[in-house]
Amino acid sequence: MLVAELVELLEQRYPPSWAESWDRVGLTLGEPTAEVTRVLLAVDCDPRTVQEAVEAGADFLFTHHPLLLRGVSSVAPTTYKGAIVHRMIKAGITLYTAHTNGDVANPGVSDALAARLGLLDPRPLVPTDDTGRGHGRVGRLPSAMALSQFAALVSSSVGRVRVAGPPDATIETVAVSGGAGDAFLADAARAGVDAYLTADLRHHPAHEHLAGGGPVLLDVSHWASERPWLDDVAAFLRRETGLQTIVSDVDTSPWTFMEDGNS
């Protein structure tokens, strides 16, 4: 199919009008009349995922995070982003992004995260309308478990996790939000859940949230919280277009290891 046809399909599922005003989504690079045969899906567009696309023979790179979120005055190949742009153009790879419009979609980023944890009856944490769209999701576990057990579930199904709360706390209802979730701490507290799982939590907001009686917190990497959604998008593309899809497992988190001083 053509790039323009694939873009139209994606924008029916993730309309750009759903994106936040500050966001930059949609077609970033590529000729609308070019043909698409293979799609690589990744959280970020960076040199490693572009190289993966080149090696896989993908001609369309779908990413969650925008490459050009903030304005640049140059895309010279001597700049970080310029080098990426030039590499992709030379390789004939289209770049397309669905970011906050993917966050609020139904199903969207947080639905995939909730599904990884087996949450039942998910609903938006912060609804944007009455169609099931919105930020985050709230659901319940099939059966209650101790926080230590839930943390082990998160670690095995999503990724390495930091936990704030007593290990023996009972967890049954859970709020999740893919990506940075500081903004929804108060919403998680109002939802009356037992735990809130998200990424990029900061010291002071987390401290004040817990001091105010908010639910226990679980903090995974930004990349890990959004990676599950790529599987859903890939399945959608295969079902609707028959295109070959590859989901990247290149972890683009900037953090590479942890040292606790006891090794």
Residue stretches of the annotated binding site for a divalent metal cation: 64-65, 103, 222, 226
Q: Tokens 């993730």, residue?
A: 14
In this structure, what are the phi and psi dihedrals at residue 198, rounded to the nearest 5 degrees?
Answer: -160, -160
Cα end-to-end span (Å), the chain: 53
How far apart are alpha carbons 168 and 170 in whole angstroms?
A: 6
Specify whether the CB–CB gap between 110 and 137 falls below 8 A: yes
In DSSP terms, which residues pair with 145 in a beta bridge?
Answer: 171
Alpha carbon distances (Å) from 124 to 62, 74, 127, 134 = 25, 40, 5, 5
Rounded to the nearest 5 degrees, what angle is found at the Cα of 188, between the Cα atoms of 124 and 132? Answer: 5
Residue 218 has which token pair?
């679980």
Torsion of CA 13, 18, 22, 27, to 10 degrees: 30
- Residue numbers belonging to the annotated binding site: 64-65, 103, 222, 226
DSSP line for 61-122: EEESS-TTSS--S---TTSHHHHHHHHHHHHT-EEEE--HHHHSSSS-HHHHHHHHTT-EEE
Q: How many CB atoms lie within 10 A of CB 38?
A: 14
DSSP 195: E
**How far, in Å, CA of 85 to CA of 92, rounded?**
11
Tokens 């998008």 -> residue: 233
